[in-house]
Structure 1
Amino acid sequence: MHTDRSSHDLRHHGDAEVRDDGAKLIDLAVNVRADTPPAWLRDRIAKSLTGLAAYPDGRAARAAVAARHGLPVERVLLTAGAAEAFVLLARALKVRRPVVVHPQFTEPEAALRDAGHTVDRVLLREEDGFRLDPAAVPEDADLVVIGNPTNPTSVLHPAASIARLARPGRTLVVDEAFMDAVPGEREALAGRTDVPGLVVLRSLTKTWGLAGLRIGYALAAPETIADLGRAQPLWPVSTPALTATEACMGPQALAEAAHAAHRIAADRAHLVAGLGEFASDGLRVTEPAEGPFVLVRVPRATAVRRHLRDLGFAVRRGDTFPGLGEEWLRLAVRDRPTVNTFLQALDQALTLTSTRH
């Protein structure tokens, strides 16, 4: 258990790697799927613009999310991205001892701290493959946050292990923002009503390329949904975002997402195999990776990242994640031609780094 809250920049996200200096970089830093949103989704969103004079009406989108997960609408809350849900949880729930399982997405802890909470950390260990040990979470924690599959480790925890964290009087928040990138969504808890205190968060920004539109949702018991909803401003989700939500819940969209998940898995295997060629350079991949990204440990990663940038590639630094240090990088999965070009650049970056030390 660790309580240090000052050593990591919790507000640093992958988009910072591809902006600021105007360089045109090939993006392996942000986990949004490439070539999205698809044309049919852009068309649906564009048609919604004729209705912008009216206030947003989220009933159809909420019902679509509920139907997709086999839940009553009272268990669904639409949010301006999953990130808004973290803010709502931090502000609306009365908690005494929140615990965040790291390494993971840093926004939950940042939101809790901003709301005045003292946050404890459970740090998963590299030597354990960053896998969850439910016994490591303090019994008196009344809010526990964990990602699955976890950003940035790409570890997919067994649903049964996460469910073991549930306790009477505890809110268990599972960030499933990347679960639709897992073939079959195995180990998903979305749709479960038998786990006490469960809150599952989902995002449409990753698979559908809607980070600029801000849309996600929370699934939880009706009373929890009501508490979170009271903390929201009026009309928090825009009409175009609601239209996108409804569209992405349809059978054709779900089939397309399932196909994309299998393609991502194949592309990830290609990336991991290529990275394995650099084992002699000290590069290690966290395996098995199950998300649309991989976490690697490489000597002098800061210099490697700088050389990659000079060669036209942006990758995500890992040292802003609690539990990781400067030797870690996160790489988004891309198509094979992009990966092949990246691996050539990585070879050059590692050579440049080694010859200067």
Structure 2
Amino acid sequence: MRDDGAALVDLAVNVRADTPPAWLREEMAASLSSLAAYPDGRAARAAVAARHGVPVERVLLTAGAAEAFVLLARALKVRRPVVVHPQFTEPEAALRDAGHSVDRVLLREAEGFRLDPSAVPGDADLVVIGNPTNPTSVLHPAEAVVRLARPGRVLVVDEAFMDAVPGEREALAGRTDVPGLVVLRSLTKTWGLAGLRIGYVLAPPDVVAELARVQPLWPVSTPALVAARACVGPRALAEAAHAAHRIAADRAHLVAGLSAFASRGVRVVSPAEGPFVLVRMDAAAVVRHRLRERGYAVRRGDTFPGLGEEWVRVAVRDRGTVDGFLRALSDALP
């Protein structure tokens, strides 16, 4: 909240605006009459398997992608886990909480935060990378990510934002030819279900079995299972595809507006491919404070390994919201 009590326009969160849609809320509400029974995930699991064209044995439903990171950290017996940064901090936190010593590979700003597979140590037996990556919005080529795979290594690819990429190009979900590949998907971002907690893992059956072994009983509620089944159905996939193209257009508008401030020390990491952009600016902490005074919240970047206090992440929104933000930014910049 601002000092005057007015609500902030939240550009710090990376959940799609105006979600969940009414039809999804109605489907979840209809499930409330069956809450007396224990959750049965078989239909949702089969629907996810069909959506990606894989056997059901390769699917595990989870309470969001965050639970999947905890399961991986607890279930897998790894000696040298490596996390590619900057990226979502939960994978490393889960590994450390499980007692692992974690190595980092820091992608460089000078190289556009793009993946160099040769930078990952050859003896790493667990590698975690996001694609497209939060917070850099970089979409790594699938062939570059696949180069990280090898026998004896688990390769975890967090594709929580892949459905915001038109055509889901560079996606690895559904690939069964890559050794040790584990793909995580979240339904909370595109569908605005962060409070419901729903996601899934696509992995070899032996890995799925190991994760299920340490997973609590009935981890996914009945409404979340209904949401999972709905969000991988034809109607949802068509809506998500339309939203991905709209996000791409709105992102281009945001990037163009930010680029107009280049002479005032603003630089956008590009090409951005996610529903957010990473921005470097002079005196970012001061600018964030001034933006809050003007009614806008952006995400600080210095909590992501490999980034400093000069970075912020800005969510992509509709053009009207973006134009208002750009006017506030013009006032807030030094």
Cα displacement string for residues 46-97 of structure 1 (whole angstroms, at most 9, x for unaligned residues): 0001111100000000000000000010000000000000000000000000
Query: Structure 2: 5+ residue runs without aligned partners?
Result: none
Aligned length: 334
Q: How does 1:1-357 map to 2 (within 5 A)?
A: 24-350=7-333, 354=334
Code of the residue aligned with 1:198 in structure 2: it is L
Code of the residue aligned with 1:104 in structure 2: it is Q
Code of the residue aligned with 2:307 in structure 1: it is L
Describe the SS at the equivalent of 1:153. Answer: coil
The percentage of counterpart residues that share the same residue type is 83
- TM-score, reference length from structure 2: 0.99
Distance 1:129 1:213, change over 3 A: same
- TM-score, reference length from structure 1: 0.92
Cα displacement string for residues 18-52 of structure 1 (whole angstroms, at most 9, x for unaligned residues): 79x97611010000000000000000000001111
Inter-partner Cα distance in structure 1 for 2:301 and 2:58? 35
Instruction: Tell me by how many angstroms 1:159 deviates.
Output: 0.3
Inter-partner Cα distance in structure 1 for 2:141 and 2:268? 20
Code of the residue aligned with 1:154 in structure 2: it is S
- Matched with 1:5 is none
Inter-partner Cα distance in structure 2 for 1:308 and 1:47? 41
Code of the residue aligned with 1:195 in structure 2: it is V
Inter-partner Cα distance in structure 1 for 2:295 and 2:34? 41
Instruction: Tell me by how many angstroms 1:249 deviates.
Output: 1.0
Query: Structure 1: 5+ residue runs without aligned partners?
Result: 1-17
Code of the residue aligned with 1:239 in structure 2: it is T
Describe the SS at the equivalent of 2:261. Answer: helix
Describe the SS at the equivalent of 1:214. Answer: coil
Distance 1:23 1:168, change over 3 A: farther
Runs of 4+ in 1 over 4 A off after TM superposition: none
Describe the SS at the equivalent of 1:344. Answer: helix
Code of the residue aligned with 2:328 in structure 1: it is A
Inter-partner Cα distance in structure 2 for 1:113 and 1:302? 29
Inter-partner Cα distance in structure 2 for 1:88 and 1:163? 23
Inter-partner Cα distance in structure 2 for 1:60 and 1:30? 31
Inter-partner Cα distance in structure 2 for 1:38 and 1:101? 34
Inter-partner Cα distance in structure 2 for 1:46 and 1:188? 32
Cα displacement string for residues 216-272 of structure 1 (whole angstroms, at most 9, x for unaligned residues): 000000000000001100000000000000011111110000000000000000000
Q: In angstroms, what is the RMSD of aligned CA positions?
A: 1.3
Inter-partner Cα distance in structure 2 for 1:262 and 1:156? 15
Describe the SS at the equivalent of 2:184. Answer: strand
Instruction: Tell me by how many angstroms 1:279 deviates.
Output: 0.4
Instruction: Tell me by how many angstroms 1:346 deviates.
Output: 0.4
Code of the residue aligned with 1:273 in structure 2: it is A
Instruction: Tell me by how many angstroms 1:319 deviates.
Output: 0.1
Inter-partner Cα distance in structure 1 for 2:30 and 2:6? 33
Code of the residue aligned with 1:129 in structure 2: it is G
Inter-partner Cα distance in structure 2 for 1:211 and 1:347? 32
Code of the residue aligned with 2:280 in structure 1: it is R
